[in-house]
Chain A
Amino acid sequence: MESHAWIPSLGVSFTLGLDGLSLLFVILTALMGAAAVLASWKSLGRKVALFHAALALVMAGIYGVFLSVDLFLFAFMWELMLIPMYFLVDVWGGPGRHKASVKFFLFSQAGGILMFVAVVALYVLHGRATGVYSFDYRVLLGTAFDPAAGMLLMLGFFAAFAVKLPVFPLHAWLPDTYTEAPIGGSVLLAALLSKTAGYGMIRFLLPLFPDAVRAFAPIAVWLGVAGIVYGGFMAFAQKDLKRLVSYTSVSHLGFVLVGIFTLTAQGLDGAVIQMLSHGLGTGALFVLVGWLEERSGTRDLDRLGGLWSMAPRLGAFGLVLTLGLVGLPGLGNFIGEFLVLSGSFHAYLAATIVAGFGLVVAMVYALRMFQLSFHGSPSGALAVRDLDAPQVLLLGVLVAALVYLGLFPQEVLKLLAALGASLGLTPGVMP
């Protein structure tokens, strides 16, 4: 815990805190940030210094989000991420980058503003009720609202998180942005930015507005389930490999939302593990797809094919990561999805069954993707170099982390154990 006075007259302090939950995400940020830098090592071509400056700024914002204890600081960091991220997509992205970056910006900014209004309103309400004007999370904790106000504030926060995660109807920016972003940009977006939203829900939404969250939970769970199924079906229909991976993110992040809003300790644990493994797995998958595109010049599944024989190392990583998408036991996603579903089983039986169906869809799209790109034969001439040693090392580290998460989830759960209790969540059924 590190605290400095920042704007004392308004009760704003520069307070950073690190607990088990933050620690996990800080480690993920460090790992995936390095991966984003390494993955875009050769592919930039222009304005390299500027790219890394923007990337470092986004990283600073992400670290800030994971560490802030002061809500003003949190909102500050949240805004800090946005503009450099916009430029990462807009300057270094693919052919449709302008439209994608504007879409991303508008969605994120709209959500960010609603959250900022909610932060200020929370500050004012708390100040009026107690006379203590402060943005400190620990002070604001336990503020009592009348139900309508609490619900509005909660929705303000939820809007920002729902855009970034994304939650089903607000995901419209995601496929475009993920697809058009440069390798490093999609790694940041998929692996880290979406996690800031999940983290924000666990850290701020649940403890600050327990009553409103409880009332809203069934809706959120169903939104999550809708995301799982919708993302799965959309992924199945894609021809563009990167777009396909983007839609699998919508699907996998739906589990995160379900897990958090089951309001059980299991669901929460599952959501965190799901976020970590999505960060590692999908992050690595975006690296892989980026490299594949560099080598082959295409992401079109119709034109790809037979990569396994041409580039066995690429193929091997592709296989492992695809199995991760499916939720194979031994990889982190399995633990995450299993915990989420077992958390939601009691309270939301129907939702759990539909979400379980989503796993079947995942099997179908993942295998289709693998088959079309790695097996068979390409439609045209396709020559792909295999991965070189540093690239194998990078993907190897990420996959190793994913396997570790799948085999020893207990280590992660131990770090989280204190958290569920402090949020007042009981294992199993909610009262």
Chain B
Amino acid sequence: MDFSAIRLELVAALIALGLLVFGLLTPRGKREVIGYIAAAAFLGLLALSFLAPGGGGSFQGGLYLDDPLSLFFKRLFITAAFLVSLMSLRFAKSLEESRSEFFSLLGFSLVGMMMLASANDFVSLYIGLELMSLPLVILTAYDRTSGKSTEAGTKYILLSAISSAVLLFGLSLLFGATGSFSYSDTLKALGSVADDPLVVIGSIMVVAGFAFKISAVPFHMWSPDIYEGAPAPVAAFLAVGSKAAGFAALIRLLLFALPASSGDFPLLILSLSVLSMVVGNLIALPQTNMKRLLAYSSIAHAGYILLGLVAASTAGVAAMLYYLVLYLFANVGIFAALSAFGEAGGSSEISSLKGMWKRSPFMAASLLVCLLSLAGIPPAAGFIGKFYLLAEVARQGKLWLAALALVMSVVSISYYISVIRVIVMEKAEDESRIRVSLANKAILAVSVLVTLGMGVFPAPITEWTRAIAGSIVR
């Protein structure tokens, strides 16, 4: 058998297993070294994905695809895992026990995401989904001293199980109608039975399952509670990794398996997108907790990114990919700052960020750039990203949709700005300086550099994402 198509997944799984074993072999007092090893291993994996990009191809007769799109997403996930493990160093150190498992679980979840990006068959799709979600549930509940964390873990596993059940039921309906699990066979078979109620209901259920993962309205209810309860690094991984994986699966599903451009599908995706933009942004307005605010903003961003699937064109998919990259770095930057702030004893209430500008100018400036990027204000990358999505939707004649997204993004500016105002203007009660660890400083620096770089020199990544989108969208 030719394993070259799954080489990255194999290495990632080996890393995860190796971390487990290594954790057992290291004496108790020295286990904090595992975090560094994990980060180094993920960085090595990222390097491997560039050194040996692979020539495409598939595994097990099309069960699993290794194409530019999946490679793009895998790099995204590995980057997220690397940054999140760096971010978790302090958190893991503060744990009484089970330090090594934390990073190992991160690795397993990463393997699941990578599988989702490559899945070309409903079976591998489902396995990938579960492999990604179950470790995330444990990670969410990892902070055993905090009731909120445990609560979040419980909520997540319940809701995640329900969404999996819906997805599975939908898949079984589709299987009943087409008799196949493979994407390409499904697409062929659907040509003749597209109006079959089985197919319609089944497809809606499948899309709903993934709408849960990307936290699109009305499947978004879980995210605020879980972002709030989960440890900051885990919330970051949920916000960027799990969401990007959901989009990876959706892109492939809607372009290759389910007839995205026929029937009522466009309307379905369109309404998910519009609802997410409107509800996410409006509910974010009155939030007083930073993590909850980020959860609602991530819901709104799911809506923006879905615009690319509404367009369902090369430029649309390219815009989604571009947006996911900038979204990753902006969110990782914000969560890294929050996590550093938490380590210094701060809470995630927005009001506790007061006087950040005095207490740690570097952290405050990084937060500022990342928030402005999410708000879509130049010269941060968010402006370019939103422009790509909106321009493509507008080019296809849906000017009202672009205008709605613009109006919603103005609404979003008001809550991002209110956070910035607290950071920059208000006086802190406690004026002591915040010490930011070197790892967090590095994450912040990378996030800011990428965010500004993508905003000022958008061309390289644009060309890259367009080439990828061009290679898969026909």
Interface of A with B (CB < 8 Å)?
Answer: 5-10, 47, 50, 72, 76-77, 79-80, 82-83, 86-87, 90-91, 105, 109-110, 113, 116-117, 120-121, 123-124, 127
Contact = CB atoms under 8 A, between A and B. Distances in A.
Interface of B: 357, 372, 377-379, 383-384, 387-388, 390-391, 394-395, 399, 402-403, 406-407, 410, 413, 417, 421, 424-425, 457-459, 462-463, 466
14 contacts: A6-B457, A7-B458, A7-B462, A10-B388, A50-B424, A79-B377, A80-B378, A80-B379, A82-B377, A87-B424, A91-B424, A113-B410, A116-B406, A117-B406
Contacts of B459: 5-9
Nearest to A77: B378
A273 B388 CA distance: 39
Given A6-B458, A123-B391, A91 B425 contact: yes
Contacts of A117: 394, 399, 402-403, 406
A113 B378 contact: no
Most A-side CB within 10 Å, residue of B384, B387, B466: B387
Most B-side CB within 10 Å, residue of A6, A110, A123: A6
Q: Which 8 A-B pairs have the closest CB atoms?
A: A76-B378, A80-B378, A124-B395, A79-B378, A113-B406, A120-B394, A7-B458, A7-B459
B390 A120 contact: yes
B372 A83 contact: yes
B457 to A, nearest CB: 8
Given A7-B459, A80-B378, A121 B394 contact: yes
A7 B394 CA distance: 18
A89 to B, nearest CB: 12
Given A50-B357, A87-B424, A117-B402, A79 B383 contact: yes
Contacts of A50: 357, 424
Given A10-B462, A83-B417, 9 more contacts: A6-B459, A10-B391, A79-B377, A91-B425, A110-B410, A113-B410, A117-B406, A120-B387, A121-B394
Nearest to A109: B410
A105 B411 CA distance: 12
Contacts of B390: 120
Contacts of A113: 406-407, 410
A76 B372 contact: no
Contacts of A47: 357
Most B-side CB within 10 Å, residue of A10, A87, A121, A123: A10
A91 B466 CA distance: 42
B313 to A, nearest CB: 13
B391 A120 contact: yes
Contact of A120 (B383, B402, B407): B402
Contacts of A82: 377
Nearest to B421: A90
A9 B463 contact: yes
A61 B369 CA distance: 17
A121 B394 CA distance: 7
Contacts of A110: 410
Nearest to B458: A7
B52 to A, nearest CB: 28
A39 to B, nearest CB: 22
A11 to B, nearest CB: 10
Contacts of A120: 387, 390-391, 394, 402
Contacts of B372: 83
Contact of B417 (A6, A86, A121): A86
Contacts of A83: 372, 377, 417
B399 A121 contact: yes
Contacts of B399: 117, 121
A9 B466 contact: yes
A127 B395 contact: yes
Contacts of B417: 83, 86, 105
Nearest to A60: B379
Nearest to A84: B377
Contact of A109 (B378, B387, B413, B458): B413
Contacts of A105: 417
Contacts of A77: 378
B153 to A, nearest CB: 38
A91 B423 CA distance: 12
A110 B463 CA distance: 32
A9 B399 CA distance: 21
Contacts of B402: 117, 120
Contacts of A127: 395
A2 to B, nearest CB: 16
A9 B410 contact: no
Contacts of A76: 378-379, 383
A305 B372 CA distance: 46
Contacts of B458: 6-7
Contacts of B421: 90
Contacts of B466: 9
B28 to A, nearest CB: 47
B468 to A, nearest CB: 13
Nearest to B409: A113
Contacts of B395: 124, 127
